[in-house]
Chain A
Amino acid sequence: MLPDPALFAKLLAPLPLFDLFEQLQPKLQLTLEQYEALKQSLWLGYGATSWDDLQRVCGLLWVRPSYDNSHQKLFDREFDYYRQRLSDLPVKKPIEVNKSKTEQSSVTTQLLLPAFPKRFIPNDTQSSSSQAATRVETLPAQERNSANGLKILPINLPISVPKVRESWRLLRQVHQLGMADEIDVDMTVAKISRVGFMQDVVLRPSWSQRSELIVLVDEGKNMLPYFPALAPLFKAIEGGWIHPAAAYRFTGYPAWFLSQWQDSERLVAIDDLLKRLHRLRTVVMVISDMGAANGEIDADRKQGTKDFLRCWQPCVRQILWINPVPKWRWRGTMAAEINQELDKKMLWLGDFDSRAAQRLWRSGRW
């Protein structure tokens, strides 16, 4: 059976289906080598009999795994668009991922709330509406959509138990810790070959995978809407998927005492907590909007937070700061200043995935 005439014509071109590759390349970040693989497959007789056949083969060669299957969905949508365009079918333009999220949000906002409250931005007091529009234009697409009506819902934030577990596994990567008490065979042999006889063994710190997670959650009123989005994290801690781990609440900034996540009436003195944390094994995750949701500026809170960071940093391996409010809302708020304090490593909750965790881990201690 001959394939669809439009497909047949494309297959006979000197560079078969190159326009398909060109259409998909920027979205799927394909390489020329992957196009060569398609050409080779077509030459071997794979994918040349029908559109479905071609779609399957292109998928095998070009789609990459992703936790939520988003890469596959994007590929399918773009391929369908290409196919419709060539087959004289009524063309349905592929729906942009961000747009669909926004549309979905606009529907669900009515029901699920909360949207961000209007806020006061100190630096923007004299800005006109046209300036504000210009600023919005410069934002990345996803954030621009979010800005339209400020509709980012906690329920849409991409956090899930498997993702939390995956990120934890990455943070627990094997690393060398503590005293040099393990024989480094390679270095010992290298030394023998250099010196000519065995003088002494070369020691190195042993490899360890032990880590402890301390989660500190801001329970200020601006944070309450995000608690459902954080539920998977606490589920992973309670279920023992992340172990050892403990979660605490604070209001404003962590000072003197923290209250336990499960039982907010039970207080833990920060001094006592810091004494038992291992300097090389403890990862602290702070979850707070730091005033980004309503543009609040509070000098005490800002100074208190800076003091907290200076006090805790020498006592733990790493402090991760997760902010549930998108980055573009940090500007002019305390969040921006604390982000500077953290060498711009504060992370938006929407960007929190295993790759981000990996990047943070590689960036070392703050």
Chain B
Amino acid sequence: MNNPLLNPYRYEKISETEQPKGLIDDHQRRYEPYLPSDGLIEAVRLAIALQRPLLLEGKPGSGKTQLANSLVYQFTKNNLPGHVESAGKKPWWPFYIWNIKSYTQARDGFYTFDAVGRLRDAQIAGVTLSQTQSWRETQEIQQAWQNPKKYRKFGALGQAIQEPDKRAVLLIDEVDKADSDFTNDLLLELDQYRFDVPETGEMEIVSKHKPIIILTSNQEKPLPDAFLRRCLYFNIEFPERNLLEDIAKQRFNLADKDAQDTLKKSMDEFIKIRSVINLEGNKAPGTSEFLDFLSALYFQLETKAERDEVLSELHKRPAFLGTLLKNNSDIELYTNGRRGS
């Protein structure tokens, strides 16, 4: 690896030995190996260089969310020596996650203001003053509710913008879940990386170091053109067989021949399932489901014979099949196909 001091925001393909294997950061987030394609690496580098958000699309389970973890891991490893090995005792690279829900509003990402709490304190102060409190206590309560900043709490985007000495990584997950006005409300702020808090009179909170923003979308809802023009766009395709094999090998320590044989058979079956489901136009299982399936095989079954039995009669083992197929019509489709063959 080149001297990381030259570019603290370097993102590159890393070798198997450098990959994180179940590492935990200071927020108890878990880090697993991640193998991005060359195109994705270039997209990340360009987004960092141009200081623009990167919008990732792809089927569920294609690894959109994991990219942000991978960035944080590499930045921590390159710039904060010893921190990744500290089992979460030393702080990792600043990493904020904003999980979007259908009711999320743009302002929530910057800050929330506890108006009810302030109202309650004001009421308590008004009722109890001069009854039970001493002069000092009265002053404390008065000062508390009269200072609106005490009731303001910064959200993920607000914190990422205010990061004092690094470009934080901000993951805005499943941006398409929110109302269509949500992205429109973020346009100005994502352009200029600044925001106001009118309730406290804090105006023009500006970023010193623009956060690296990764947005993910499951293509459930189209996003406005004005928003898309401000982003770089990358679609994560389902990985080729070789890449899928590498991903599985890095996730599970497949040293012995039996385990590798299971992997080969599992991949054959998985690819068959995908083609059947794709033909029907339904959502085929992705990488994440495949890794869950392998976890079930490797961790629940001890011998190769047991795993072979499950793989040969997968249509009769709903618990295992359920890790790949998530609705009854898909399961029936696959089961009928197996019976027919």
Contacts and interface: CB of A to CB of B under 8 A. Distances in A.
Q: In the complex, which of the residues A31, A41, A64, A69 has the most CB atoms of chain B within 10 Å of its own CB atom?
A: A64
B98 interface: no
22 contacts: A31-B229, A41-B46, A44-B49, A46-B49, A60-B42, A60-B234, A64-B228, A64-B229, A65-B217, A65-B222, A67-B219, A162-B219, A162-B281, A166-B220, A170-B180, A173-B179, A174-B102, A174-B103, A186-B115, A198-B123, A239-B327, A358-B222
A270 interface: no
A209 B101 CA distance: 13
Contacts of A60: 42-43, 46, 232-234
A168 to B, nearest CB: 11
Q: In the complex, which of the residues A37, A60, A72, A186 has the most CB atoms of chain B within 10 Å of its own CB atom?
A: A60
A63 interface: yes
A56 B43 CA distance: 9
A29 B281 contact: no
Contacts of A92: none
A189 B118 CA distance: 10
Interface residues of A, number: 41
B225 A166 contact: no
Contacts of A166: 220-222
B330 to A, nearest CB: 10
A57 B180 contact: no
Main secondary structure of the interface of A (DSSP, over half): helix
B39 interface: yes
A262 interface: no
Contacts of B115: 185-186, 189
Which 6 A-B pairs have CB atoms at the shortest separation, nearest pair first? Answer: A64-B228, A189-B115, A60-B232, A44-B49, A65-B57, A60-B43
B285 to A, nearest CB: 16
B147 interface: no
B103 A207 contact: yes
Contacts of B144: none
Query: How many B residues are at the interface, by size bracket?
Result: 35 or more
B46 A64 contact: no
Nearest to A37: B50
Contacts of B52: 37
B221 A170 contact: yes
B229 A65 contact: no
B222 A57 contact: no
B46 A57 contact: yes
B225 A64 contact: yes
Contact of A34 (B49, B219, B229): B229
Interface in A152-179: 160-162, 166, 169-170, 173-174
Interface in A182-214: 185-186, 188-189, 192, 198, 207, 209
Interface in B31-59: 39, 42-43, 45-46, 49-50, 52, 55, 57
A64 B231 CA distance: 9
B229 A33 contact: yes
A109 interface: no
A44 to B, nearest CB: 5
Contacts of B116: 185, 189
A281 B76 CA distance: 50
A160 B222 CA distance: 15
A239 B280 CA distance: 13
A67 B219 CA distance: 7
Nearest to A46: B46
A174 B179 contact: yes
B130 to A, nearest CB: 17
Given A60-B233, A354-B221, A65 B55 contact: yes
Contacts of A192: 119
Contacts of B57: 65
Contacts of A239: 327, 329
A65 B116 CA distance: 41
Contacts of B232: 60-61
Contacts of B222: 65, 67, 166, 354-355, 358
B318 to A, nearest CB: 19
B183 interface: no
Contacts of B45: 46
Interface in A58-86: 60-61, 63-65, 67, 69, 72
Nearest to B123: A198
A52 to B, nearest CB: 11
Contacts of B329: 239
B39 A56 contact: yes
A313 interface: no
B72 to A, nearest CB: 22
